[in-house]
Chains A and B, each alone.
Chain A
Amino acid sequence: MKLAYWMYAGPAHIGTLRIASSFKNVHAIMHAPLGDDYFNVMRSMLERERDFTPVTASVVDRKVLARGSQEKVIDNITRKDQEENPDLIVLTPTCTSSILQEDLQNFVDRAQLESKGDVLLADVNHYRVNELQAGDRTLSQIVEFYINKARKKGELPQGKTEKPSVNIIGISTLGFHNNHDCTELKRLMADLGIEVNAVIPDKASVHDLKNLSRAWFNLVPYRELGPMTAEYLAKEFEMPYVDITPMGVVETARCIRKIQEVLNAQGANVDYEDYIENQTLHVSQAAWFSRSIDCQNLTGKKAVVFGDSTHAAAMTKILAREMGIHVVLAGTYCKYDKDWFREQVGEYCDEILVSEDHGEIGDAIARIEPAAIFGTQMERHVGKRLDIPCGVIAAPIHIQDFPVGYKPFLGYEGTNQMADLVYNSFTLGMEDHLLEIFGGHDTKEVITKGISAGSDLNWTKEAQTELNKVPGFVRGKVKRNTEKFAREREFSEISLEVMYAAKEAVGA
């Protein structure tokens, strides 16, 4: 048993359901207790989805517990098959119902006999993997299924599309800024003269999966969803894939150069250097931002980065390479991907943290006292408590990650968005000047070790009034500095005198 307060990644069935419900005309049946169908709520509420989420729970209740589901799951599958004519029904347990160890494959086989559409059991170990791993696996399972099916029927198309083309793999419902990223990637491909052969799984039809092999290459923008499918396609059809996340000016260029290499190896003759240069210097504002006087003030500021491997690694590189910010700690909760992550960020930060324990990262932030955090909603909360601004760069998703306006993280428009995010996350210009006046520059010692230690110091009324006069955006910093000063000198109360003494001491 483990005491847990917060999860960065959801349980496996969430990953499976994200894939199934991303496809067009695919229905998922969950073998699960009544209360497990909140995926529908998340999709409807967070994505503001207009359509009914194609997920139905085949309810596990007391009766099922006593006697097994018997015909119930099969009935539910065949019923959905008739009601909505889906192309495919995916059956998944949840980690709870998987303990029952019912023979779901057998249910699927029997339901298949009576269904017009296809029926599949999600091949995932629900107790061992998380949402991200399960999603990756389910996507590749569905792709494999339809490619094998087409092969059996002799329907696999031969050859490639006439013009260079791409499959974009890994765009899904409830993905972090996925929708906008997808639009941006499509624009980028259009700029590069590359046709989009398919986007999967988002709004794709399973019947089109057999045509995946017609693309010249696969683009896998996220580490968390798509690599297994790309690997499979590489093995099966010798399709090359590009898995460089085009996030930030430098990485976007690297991604495009890799695409160029892949295309030219197949006989195309493309040269994207002019495009890259034009975008970098004149279209994207991000490179100019790095050079601008605003960004100069960011030099050497301390930041902590935490998120899924894709976004945390990309953000670390942007901050360190493109903005001269000092990334003290870069971390990820994708434990299964730690080797890749270490290799990616190793040279751009002082420390690496791979952990699923939000307390650990919270304590690290309290210890480091960065000027800004780039993390998940959890770190945003930590930041609120410590008065440190936080830009949200990664899932777990939140309603705020589904802005109505256009906010991609990838491609050249993504670079602009990143520049804004960074700019807004640090205190700059005039505020920076004020910080200096109040002795708010980066401080080396630790105030308290953990984030949960509340203030044990009393402020006298006068001191409190004085503190309230300090402008809001630096008040937290002044308060912390004063308290640290008081703690070091073992004052139990902060009077006006202590406050001024602190200001002088820190300023000195």
Chain B
Amino acid sequence: MTVAETPSALNFECETGNYHTFCPISCVAWLYQKIEDSFFLVIGTKTCGYFLQNAMGVMIFAEPRYAMAELEEGDISAKLNDYEELKRLCQQIKRDRNPSVIVWIGTCTTEIIKMDLEGLAPRLEAEIGIPIVTARANGLDYAFTQGEDTVLAAMAHKCPKEAPKEEAEKTERNAISKLMNFGRKKEDITAGDAEYVDHPPLVLFGSLPDPVVTNLTLELKKQGVKVSGWLPSKRFTELPVIEEGYYVSGVNPFLSRTATTLMRRRKTKLIGAPFPIGPDGTRAWIEKICSVFGIEPQGLEEREAKIWENLEDYIKLIRGKSVFFMGDNLLEVSLARFLIRCGMTCPEIGIPYMDKRYQKAELDLLEKTCSDMGVPLPTIVEKPDNYNQLQRIKDIQPDLVITGMAHANPLEARGINTKWSVEFTFAQIHGFTNARDILELATRPLRRNNNLKDLGWDKLVKEEAKV
């Protein structure tokens, strides 16, 4: 690989190789926890079920809110009636768990046998009285985190089309509080609204842990921007209203279908910004949103500088070192951009799928960051070939490789520092304050191996490693 000369523009490659990543149905693991009144039904084979059980460690605890609808030979050969079968299962779920929504997760098998989930859902939801969302999170078309994208894109259709007519009903219910606020005007009652600038409603999309949701919402509030709602919400029954003309913005780089759905089908306007990962990304994200609403952001520069200052103890561990992304969860570009800003170099960003339009602002920021820092631009390799990557890793000997779980131990055994990419999927990495957590993760192998380095145990395989 020739990283020596600095290319002027980002270099994209597509290896269409054999690479390792998780199946997109894994999104069930975090989405069922996020949406508290949901039930996820994965319609597939034993292979899918065993994956969820083993690789994702999703196991049934006291009250499981996800299950497999395991397709049997009769289903595959179409001897059984799909509608009746699904109805039987969904009725059982309704009886046992009574969720507010059942999310059907289609799999490769439902694609192969062309089971018409979207066609069956409306009839069935009318019959059993529970909304059904259908997402095709299959491994034929998508990788890992894109599963969330398919679910959110499907859920976007279920967001209410207009705000409920407040007046009549609300006044009734609030009779008492009205009494107590006797004499005051309505504006004063809806406390806090005064802190916001008047702007068209903004809905954010992307599944984040609740503390992070609060955190980002407050960051925007500081600038006078009001977040009208999040997709997904904590409860399905609280999905945000999305009217034509609303603004939307994504917080995760893997949500391009959701973005498209919101724009085309719900006629919203997308604010394309870098993603709020790292202090640099978070600032750019807020600035972009503010600029759309004509707001002059206050104190952001100082805020960012302060955060960087606090990160210095971690940054000095990685400054001048190199990081290689094998590609797994589609967070790669944002993480690379942040780590380059921290002073690292990055020869290669592997990524399962690259939507250059949806990620445009992030890619631009990556280019700018590289030129600011005076380091070469990374090569972005879509659908990488892991075997080839291992050869490149052997040549380059990067200081840190961020990789899927299958390759971490073998690389460590060959003296290469690794960090699991999945950890970044599950950790809280968004916003200003969580930047520390990203570095806590990224520097852990370096810190650990620093502790061990005097032992001389860095090559733990006998034969000359085939890396």
- B68 contacts A65, C-beta separation under 8 Å: no
At the interface, yes or no: A50 with Cβ under 8 Å from chain B? yes
- A35 contacts B49, C-beta separation under 8 Å: no
- B409 contacts A49, C-beta separation under 8 Å: yes
List the one stretch of B6-14, B52-60, B340-348, B428-436 in contact with chain A.
Answer: B52-60
- A34 contacts B143, C-beta separation under 8 Å: yes
- A65 contacts B112, C-beta separation under 8 Å: yes
Distance, CA A464 to CA B54, complexed state (A) = 38
Closest A residue to B24 using CB positions: A35
Distance, CA A59 to CA B384, complexed state (A) = 13
- B51 contacts A36, C-beta separation under 8 Å: yes
Chain A residues, CB < 8 A from B108: 33, 35, 60, 96-97
- A95 contacts B18, C-beta separation under 8 Å: no
Which residue of A3, A96, A452 is within 8 Å of B68 (Cβ)?
A: A3
- B113 contacts A99, C-beta separation under 8 Å: yes
Chain A residues, CB < 8 A from B138: 33
Which residue of B18, B406, B408 is within 8 Å of A76 (Cβ)?
A: B18
Most buried by B among A7, A37, A396, A454: A37
Given known A34-B143, A56-B18, contact A96–B55 (CB-CB < 8 A): no
- A5 contacts B68, C-beta separation under 8 Å: yes
Query: Quick one: which of B216-244 are within 8 Å of A by CB?
Result: none
List the one stretch of A10-18, A220-228, A290-298, A490-498 in contact with chain B.
Answer: A10-18
Number of cross-chain contacts by CB at 8 Å: 163
Chain B residues, CB < 8 A from A94: 45, 47
How would residues 362 to 379 of chain A score, 1 for a CB under 8 Å from any chain B CB and 0 otherwise?
000000000000000000
Distance, CA A133 to CA B223, complexed state (A) = 62
Chain B residues, CB < 8 A from A40: 20, 406
Given known A1-B88, A42-B54, A100-B112, contact A52–B410 (CB-CB < 8 A): yes
Query: Quick one: which of A108-145 are within 8 Å of B by CB?
Result: 127-128, 130
- B18 contacts A57, C-beta separation under 8 Å: yes
Given known A3-B89, A5-B60, contact A38–B54 (CB-CB < 8 A): yes
Closest A residue to B82 using CB positions: A1
How would residues 397 to 440 of chain B score, 1 for a CB under 8 Å from any chain A CB and 0 otherwise?
00000001111111001000000000000000000000000000
Task: Describe A's contact surface by its main secondary structure.
Answer: mixed
Distance, CA A2 to CA B45, complexed state (A) = 10
Query: Quick one: which of A446-497 are within 8 Å of B by CB?
Result: 452, 454
CB A205 to nearest CB in B, in angstroms, measures: 15
Distance, CA A50 to CA B26, complexed state (A) = 26
At the interface, yes or no: B80 with Cβ under 8 Å from chain A? yes
Query: Quick one: which of A2-50 are within 8 Å of B by CB?
Result: 2-7, 10-11, 13-14, 32-38, 40-42, 44-45, 48-50
At the interface, yes or no: B460 with Cβ under 8 Å from chain A? yes
- A10 contacts B72, C-beta separation under 8 Å: no
At the interface, yes or no: A213 with Cβ under 8 Å from chain B? no
- A11 contacts B50, C-beta separation under 8 Å: yes
Query: Quick one: which of B51-81 are within 8 Å of A by CB?
Result: 51, 53-55, 59-64, 67-73, 75-76, 80
A-B CB proximity, top 7 nearest: A35-B23, A35-B139, A40-B406, A50-B413, A33-B139, A38-B55, A11-B46
Known: A41-B55, A99-B76, A99-B109. 4 other contacts (CB 8 A): A6-B53, A37-B406, A62-B140, A95-B46
Residues of A within 8 A of B (CB): 1-7, 10-11, 13-14, 32-38, 40-42, 44-45, 48-53, 56-62, 65, 76, 83-84, 94-97, 99-100, 127-128, 130, 381, 385, 396, 452, 454
Q: Can you spell out 26 A-B residue pairs with CB atoms less than 8 angstroms apart?
A: A1-B71, A1-B85, A2-B69, A3-B70, A3-B89, A4-B67, A4-B69, A5-B67, A10-B50, A13-B47, A34-B140, A34-B143, A35-B22, A37-B406, A41-B20, A42-B54, A42-B55, A44-B410, A52-B410, A76-B18, A84-B466, A95-B46, A96-B44, A96-B47, A96-B48, A385-B62
